[in-house]
Amino acid sequence: MRASLVAAHALLIIFLLSPIAHGFHEGGGEEYCLGCHNIYTSEGSQESSSALPTMITLKGSDPSSTCLRCHAAKGANQSVLSNDGSKFTPGGDFYWLQKTFTWTEGGVHYQSEADSHGHNVVALEYGLHADQRQSTAPGGRYPASSLACNSCHNPHATSVANGGAGSTTSLLTTYGADPVGDTTNGNYRLLGGEGYKGSHQGSGVTFTHGAPIAVADSSSWIETDSSHPTYGSGMSEWCANCHPAFLNSSTSGAGGKHPAGKGAKLNADLVKNYNSYTRSGDFKGTLSTAYLALVPFEVGASDVVFLTPSSTSGPGLGNANVMCLTCHRAHASAFNNIGRWDLETSFISDSHPQFGDGGASGNDLINSYYGRDMAAEFGETQRQLCNKCHVKD
């Protein structure tokens, strides 16, 4: 990798002046840079950040493999890569990138391809490779071969200009929580903000939309209807840093893509539908318990103080909007096009992976829906979850 000495000095000084904070990415302590880097000093000593560094390298073979040293660790809460699909984090388990499912119906062969199950980050030490089917982000030009954890997340958590390691911003708390000591509020989940170059590997894409406003539930990494991030605004705009053609705030559906973004408000009918719909044929739900983690929405707030993490409430009148993560996950899922549910079947109970599918193993079926037994919870005749808003069943 390119080691920039000036940048390293500037950041190290800021870092050494920072108070001990909490949480790995909030910095503090000698261990911080050394969590991801080997630092070599002029004395030739390794693993020391007290002397001026002469060379900085990554601990892993590539950026994503470096992150996964901690984020694929067995039993770790913050893991986003398991060996059985059991990580039910909001972003999703990169496990599904290694699973292709095949089946036959009426003599026709179908498949749900591994590469279509998520953002194919390149992490050679973990067997994760670039997407083989597309060379750039659909609707944009971010190269698939450069996709890594740090394409989306800023490893140095410098939120203001997001200039990367050389930025003069101090270390940060990640989001929401009160800033500690010299730190300032950071971006939701360390996501790259406006001006972020989407990793240092020359992706050629500079983010033009800032990080989304959202607050995650700090008490649990497992997404359920009562423990989940509450999304405020800007997620679709942020995705559009790499997928500009998919951003469609117009409610008329112009452009052939589903409306998503700040302008794609839920009108009174859709709000009523979301809050009353519990499953196909049942409209006895109420606002205070309507939230379904499989079909999230943005509440339409641009300040985290208005967001209650893990609220079980459905959308209120006027402000809420549909967004990319209403239908997709950010990392990976068991389904084609990173669907939160199987977007390609009439009945949810016919979703793939299914028992008997080629490639399906272990608890793939139940893990694909985050541990939910969909047939028991919604019935065998539950149709597409689009119905939570549109009620066409």
Question: Is the CB of 25 or the CB of 107 nearer to ligand HEC?
Answer: 25
Query: Cβ-closest residue to ligand HEC?
Result: 253
Q: Give CA–CA dist 225/246, Å, rounded.
A: 27
Are the C-beta atoms of residues 328 and 339 closer than 8 Å to each other? yes
Q: Which residues contact 349 (CB under 8 A, 6 or more apart)?
A: 374, 375, 380, 381, 382
Are the C-beta atoms of residues 352 and 346 closer than 8 Å to each other? no
| Rounded least distance, CB 338 to ligand HEC, Å | 4
Closest CA to 247 of 229, 267, 263: 263
Question: Is the CB of 335 or the CB of 357 nearer to ligand HEC?
Answer: 335
Question: Is the CB of 137 or the CB of 365 nearer to ligand HEC?
Answer: 137
Q: 42: burial class by Cβ within 10 Å (0-12, 13-18, 19+)?
A: exposed
Closest CA to 169 of 152, 183, 179, 190: 183
Question: Is the CB of 271 or the CB of 360 nearer to ligand HEC?
Answer: 271
Q: Give CA–CA dist 224/49, Å, rounded.
A: 41
Q: Give CA–CA dist 22/30, Å, rounded.
A: 13
Q: Give CA–CA dist 115/346, Å, rounded.
A: 23
| Rounded least distance, CB 393 to ligand HEC, Å | 12
| Rounded least distance, CB 32 to ligand HEC, Å | 5
Are the C-beta atoms of residues 307 and 301 closer than 8 Å to each other? yes
| Rounded least distance, CB 44 to ligand HEC, Å | 19
Are the C-beta atoms of residues 60 and 68 closer than 8 Å to each other? yes
| Rounded least distance, CB 380 to ligand HEC, Å | 20
Q: Give CA–CA dist 187/361, Å, rounded.
A: 37
Question: Is the CB of 2 or the CB of 109 nearer to ligand HEC?
Answer: 2
Question: Is the CB of 91 or the CB of 107 nearer to ligand HEC?
Answer: 91
| Rounded least distance, CB 106 to ligand HEC, Å | 22
Going 101 to 105 to 384 to 364, the CA torsion angle's sign is negative
Question: Is the CB of 107 or the CB of 299 nearer to ligand HEC?
Answer: 299
Question: Is the CB of 297 or the CB of 370 nearer to ligand HEC?
Answer: 297
Q: Give CA–CA dist 271/390, Å, rounded.
A: 10
Question: Is the CB of 3 or the CB of 366 nearer to ligand HEC?
Answer: 3
| Rounded least distance, CB 216 to ligand HEC, Å | 5
| Rounded least distance, CB 333 to ligand HEC, Å | 9
Q: Give CA–CA dist 67/59, Å, rounded.
A: 9
| Rounded least distance, CB 188 to ligand HEC, Å | 7
Closest CA to 333 of 117, 116, 98, 102: 117
Peptide bond just before 212 cis, omega within 30 deg: no
Question: Is the CB of 325 or the CB of 365 nearer to ligand HEC?
Answer: 325
